[in-house]
Amino acid sequence: MSLTDRDRAVVWHPFTQAATAQPPLPVVGAQGSWLYLADGTRVFDAISSWWTCLIGHSHPRLVAAIAEQAARLDHVLFAGCTHPGAVELAEQLVARAPAGLKRVFYSDDGSTAVEVALKMAVQYHAQNGQPQRTRFLALEAGYHGDTIGAMSVGDPADFAGPFAPLLWPVARVPVPVVDGDPLLADADMAPALTELDRLLATQGDTLAAIIVEPIVQGAGGMRFHPPAFLRAVAERVRARGGLVIADEVMTGFGRTGALFASTHARLEPDILCLAKGLTGGMLPLAATLATETIFAAFLGPDARRALLHGHSFTANPIACAVALASLRVAEDEHLLEKTAELHRFYRDFLPPLSGLPGVRAVRWLGGIGVVELHGGGYHDALRSQQVRDHCLQHGVLIRPLGPVLYTMPPLGSDLADVARAWDIIATGLAGAA
């Protein structure tokens, strides 16, 4: 029996309609930007395996870090114990993060990083004399993960489905969406800010925090907004006593051309969520960073003032070791410069695609290049699936978000491979027109 047949008999895949899905790709190896299939062919991982693979698959220094750490200290509980990797990683994250973030709380993935952030915000206010601050604001079309709290702050339209009754009510702030390069784009922010002002007025002093995906909203369709909007939002929320949570689970570690997307807007969030690329994409690990002011609100003689949260694998030493190695390799291999090259490639390559029939807009930032097709209905999703199939036949893996086609390759990718991937996407677009 083939791997895919055996898979079909026993495995349940994420976000996959098993009744209609094509058979899963049998991936038996990965190196650099390439996935190797059971039949010996290779496929370019143009979406970094769900945005996780930061530099490239199985980088030798990351592999060595895992092996070395596994032999020395595989795992230890993180309540009442510590270990060198967790401490050094926290030091390195604090040194690189936007100013003011001084404390690192570890968990396992993007969703848990967000759950921790939400709980931190609520408990912080409760212990700071404002227990009524339990409500959140979020951006329209935001996505923050699949656990109940993360789904509550995410935009339910596409992802919540039958769980909607379980989610707490969250008001959504409209976003002035821009195309092209969001750092250069202009947008009329007035309608969105007027609505934000209205929401802030109705929420009064019940607002705990706003959660944002800075500059790039990923799963909602690689939607971009200008830095000035983010700054204006943060100022208004803070003026009303709310915290600002930056969810950089996708944008962190250079994806947008800066180490953190918040810095494009000179945003200094109160809480920052990191995961995915934190370990270079090799192991699950997440971090929620907070200011010293927030941390201080959890101190006191009463044990119940502590942050009441923790996971079995909090700060797993192997994951911390590979995260440290990834930070070093990213610097040694000048990943931000490579991301700037990707940005320039998109800037030159994408605009002519907007002339193709059916293309609504193109946009790019750092390592992310996007082509959005017209509409958003079934037909356009079908069309983007046709382009996806065409790409796969030619050795390129993409995963459109409805009518939105994009690449976000490992940042260590060879530019020629990215250019070849886009040639294939472009012929697919022309063919599917």
Ligand X SMILES: Cc1ncc(COP(=O)(O)O)c(C=O)c1O
Residue 275 lies near ligand X (rule: CB under 6 A): yes
Interacting residue with ligand X among 109, 115, 179, 380 (CB under 6 A): 109
Classify residue 345 as exposed, middle or buried by CB count within 10 Å of its CB (0-12, 13-18, 19+).
middle
Smallest distance from ligand X to CB 50, Å: 7
Residue 213 lies near ligand X (rule: CB under 6 A): yes
**String marking each residue 138-167 x if it binds ligand X according to CB under 6 A:** -----xxx----------------------
**String marking each residue 112-141 x if it binds ligand X according to CB under 6 A:** --x---------------------------
Classify residue 20 as exposed, middle or buried by CB count within 10 Å of its CB (0-12, 13-18, 19+).
exposed
Give the residue from 252, 315, 247 showing the smallest Cα distance to 285: 315
Classify residue 113 as exposed, middle or buried by CB count within 10 Å of its CB (0-12, 13-18, 19+).
buried
Smallest distance from ligand X to CB 124, Å: 20
Residue 179 lies near ligand X (rule: CB under 6 A): no
In the sheet that 42-45 helps form, which strands lie side by side, from edge to edge? 27-31, 34-37, 42-45, 396-397
Interacting residue with ligand X among 45, 155, 247, 372 (CB under 6 A): 247
Q: Is the dihedral of CA 273, 411, 371, 380 positive or negative?
A: negative
Smallest distance from ligand X to CB 45, Å: 16
What's the start-to-end Cα distance of the chain, in Å? 38
Judged by beta carbon, residue 245 or residue 371, the one nearer ligand X is 245
Helix then strand then coil, % of the chain, to nearest 5? 45, 20, 40
Part of the chain binding ligand X (CB under 6 A), chosen from 243-251, 342-350, 397-405, 421-429:
243-251
CA dist., res. 157 & res. 154, Å (int): 9
**Total residues binding ligand X (CB under 6 A):** 14
Interacting residue with ligand X among 56, 85, 110, 409 (CB under 6 A): 110
Smallest distance from ligand X to CB 40, Å: 30
CA dist., res. 395 & res. 378, Å (int): 25
Contact 347, 181 (CB under 8 A): yes
Q: Which two tokens stand for residue 47?
A: 């979406």
Smallest distance from ligand X to CB 394, Å: 26
Smallest distance from ligand X to CB 286, Å: 7
Smallest distance from ligand X to CB 409, Å: 16
Give the residue from 223, 200, 204, 202 showing the smallest Cα distance to 212: 223
Residue 111 lies near ligand X (rule: CB under 6 A): yes
Interacting residue with ligand X among 250, 272, 297, 323 (CB under 6 A): 250
Interacting residue with ligand X among 65, 118, 138, 219 (CB under 6 A): 219
Smallest distance from ligand X to CB 144, Å: 5
Residue 218 lies near ligand X (rule: CB under 6 A): yes
Q: Between the CA of residue 303 and those of 127, 231, 298, 308, what are the distances in Å?
A: 13, 37, 9, 9
Residue ranges that bind ligand X, judged by CB under 6 A: 109-111, 114, 143-145, 213, 218-219, 247, 249-250, 275
